[in-house]
């Protein structure tokens, strides 16, 4: 039972947050790529350009880290209630569901003509 519930939670988490999970994975890959590219550029650059490249590298890395943090926060906020269903806000449906007795169209017509007489 525990395994079933665990897989259900993981699937529900994935279903709700496909885009956010994809953004997190892409940002991690970009962080690794940026680190490798900028380390090569820093080695090739001269003294004055090195400081500029190091600054850009860390600015981009902190930006990507912030994006990852924001997306993870969004994922955890959306997954706090895993069994909650997304309900559509259909006003007519809600009004019908609050009625005690539902009537068919023919019953409504008959009641209308009975009340006129």
Residue 117 confidence class, pLDDT cut points 50, 70, 90? low
The tens digit of pLDDT for each residue in 37-75 reads: 999 999 898 888 898 999 999 999 999 999 999 999 988
Cβ burial of 104 (10 Å; 0-12, 13-18, 19+) is exposed
Residue with tokens 């006129």: 116
Note whether 11 and 83 are within 8 A (CB).
no
Whether the pTM exceeds 0.85: the reply is no
> What pLDDT does 85 receive?
56
The tens digit of pLDDT for each residue in 102-111 reads: 778 888 888 8
Three-state helix/strand/coil letters over 52-89: HHHHHHHHHHHHHHHHHHHHHHHHHHHCCCCCCCCCCC
């Amino acid at each position: 039972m525990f395994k079933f519930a665990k897989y259900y939670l993981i699937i529900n988490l994935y279903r709700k947050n496909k885009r956010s999970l994809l953004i997190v994975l892409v940002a991690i890959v970009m962080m690794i790529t940026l680190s490798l590219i900028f380390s090569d550029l820093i080695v090739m650059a001269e003294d004055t350009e090195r400081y500029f490249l190091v600054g850009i590298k860390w600015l981009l890395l902190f930006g990507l880290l912030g994006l990852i943090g924001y997306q993870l926060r969004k994922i955890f906020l959306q997954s706090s209630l895993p069994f909650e269903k997304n309900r559509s806000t259909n006003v007519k449906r809600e009004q019908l569901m609050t009625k005690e007795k539902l009537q068919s169209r023919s019953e409504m017509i008959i009641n209308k003509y009975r009340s006129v007489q």
